[in-house]
Structures are given as structure tokens and as C-alpha cells.
């Protein structure tokens, strides 16, 4: 899978792309992730990417030419047909189902905004899908792009050692994950539930299903409605 990221701050991606699960996926060639600084596509000597909003008002607005031309340069480099994703609090809320869809694609482009927002024509011209990571406003799309990349990359086949862990985890089945325990068997008077030590795989599976539904009902009843 190939992921291109349009950003004014490529340096913030460097440690993220070389650490942990994402870092290992990149190192093993399971994903190729490239950052493009769209300031390189600015037209003036000041390398401007934003300007004051027509009609007045506070802040600055990202202008069309640098972002659109950066996307066109990716198209010319084999990226035609990539899904374009604009990170914005106005977008559709990111879900595990969306992440699963994105992970099946050969190539996606993430567009990170900054300042007050995008010139509306960027939406029209790029045809990008708009994605939000939650109902709060970040100062830029970069943390949102990292959230999306992390969630997608771990679903790319071969990235996680144990593919079963993807199936069993929270949200994959529409419910939260059951409680997990590891050694020691007793910690400060707290015991591991007996059923997990029973060796009875049928009982363990039933207990986990029940815990999963019970936990979801208490913490996230909205998920049970959707399931």
C-alpha cells in the first residue's frame, strides 16, 4: 500500500513513521509512506500557501494552487485513481468500518490543512472524501492523518503478527473488547477470573462474549444499537 501525505510540516511525521508497528511496516516494505510539502508548489517568492479570506474575517485560508498542483504531481507519478482524503473537522467521522475500507486500497493521499481552513474550491476540484477524527478542532490535520495512518496500516495484511488480534479487538465486531489478564495470577489481592485458568476453551469463549456485550452495554450502548 502507498500513502502520500500533503503537509506543511513533514518533519512531524518522521518519528511516527519510523517507530513501533507503523515503523516496522514501512521497514518491511508492506507500506510506503511519503510526505509532500505543498509549500514547494507555491507560486511566489515568499512561498505563500494561504491568504486572507475574501469578504473579510479572522485568520487565513489555504489557497487552491499549491494543494491542487501537488495532487496533480502525484497523479503524474502513478497516483491517478488514488483516494484523496481531506482531514477536516467538517468531515465524516472516522470509524473502524472506514479504516477497513481504506486498508483495502492500493493508494491513498491524505491532505492536511492548517490555519482557518481550505478555499472551498479545493473540495470541488479535488473530489476528496472529507474525514474528521472527532468533534473537536485541531490546529492542523497532521495528528488526524497520523491517527488514520496508524489505524489503516495495522490492518494491512502481514503488518500484525497475529491476525486474530485484529478480529477480536474493540469495534471489529461492533462491541468493545473483553477484559484481558496476564501474569501474575494475583496482584495486590486482585485475582484473575477462574474461568480463564480453566483450560475450557468453550467456557472461556462464552465468558469473553458475555463480558464484551456487557461492557459495551455499560460503556457504549450506542454501539449495540448500530450492531
Q: Considering beta carbons, is residue 114 or 154 the nearer one to ligand ADE?
A: 114
Q: 28 exposed, middle or buried (CB, 10 Å; 0-12, 13-18, 19+)?
A: exposed
- In the complex, the smallest distance separating the C-beta of residue 198 from ligand ADE, rounded to whole angstroms, is 44
Contacts of 24 (CB under 8 A, 6+ apart): 159
Q: Considering beta carbons, is residue 111 or 159 the nearer one to ligand ADE?
A: 111
109: left (phi over 0), alpha (psi -120 to 50) or beta: beta
- In the complex, the smallest distance separating the C-beta of residue 60 from ligand ADE, rounded to whole angstroms, is 15
Residue 6: CA atoms inside 13 Å, Cβ hemisphere, count? Answer: 28
- In the complex, the smallest distance separating the C-beta of residue 140 from ligand ADE, rounded to whole angstroms, is 6
Give the binding site for ligand ADE (CB under 6 A): 87-89, 132-134, 136-138, 141, 144
> What are the Cα distances from residue 16, in Å, to 23, 58, 71, 150?
7, 32, 23, 9
Q: Considering beta carbons, is residue 6 or 159 the nearer one to ligand ADE?
A: 6
Q: Considering beta carbons, is residue 66 or 89 the nearer one to ligand ADE?
A: 89
- In the complex, the smallest distance separating the C-beta of residue 5 from ligand ADE, rounded to whole angstroms, is 13
Three-state secondary structure call for residue 159? coil
Amino acid at each position: 500500500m502507498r500513502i502520500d501525505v500533503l503537509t506543511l510540516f513533514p518533519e512531524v511525521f518522521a518519528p511516527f513513521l519510523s517507530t513501533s508497528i507503523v515503523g516496522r511496516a514501512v521497514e518491511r516494505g508492506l507500506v510506503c509512506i511519503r510526505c509532500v510539502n505543498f509549500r514547494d508548489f507555491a507560486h511566489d517568492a515568499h512561498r505563500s500557501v494561504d491568504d486572507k479570506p475574501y469578504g473579510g474575517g479572522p485568520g487565513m485560508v489555504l489557497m487552491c494552487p499549491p494543494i491542487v498542483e501537488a495532487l496533480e504531481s502525484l497523479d503524474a507519478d502513478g497516483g491517478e485513481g488514488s483516494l484523496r482524503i481531506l482531514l477536516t473537522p467538517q468531515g465524516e467521522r472516522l470509524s473502524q468500518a472506514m479504516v477497513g475500507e481504506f486498508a483495502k486500497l492500493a493508494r491513498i493521499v491524505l491532505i492536511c490543512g492548517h490555519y482557518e481552513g481550505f478555499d472551498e474550491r479545493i473540495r470541488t476540484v479535488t473530489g476528496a472524501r472529507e474525514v474528521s477524527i472527532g468533534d473537536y478542532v485541531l490546529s492542523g490535520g497532521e495528528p488526524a492523518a497520523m491517527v488514520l495512518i496508524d489505524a489503516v496500516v495495522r490492518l494491512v495484511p502481514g503488518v500484525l503478527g497475529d491476525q486474530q488480534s485484529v478480529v477480536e479487538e474493540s469495534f471489529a465486531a461492533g462491541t468493545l473488547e473483553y477484559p484481558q489478564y496476564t501474569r501474575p495470577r494475583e496482584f495486590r489481592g486482585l485475582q484473575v477470573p477462574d474461568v480463564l485458568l480453566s483450560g475450557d476453551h468453550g467456557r472461556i469463549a462464552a465468558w469473553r462474549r458475555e463480558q464484551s456485550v456487557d461492557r459495551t452495554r455499560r460503556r457504549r450502548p450506542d454501539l449495540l444499537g448500530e450492531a
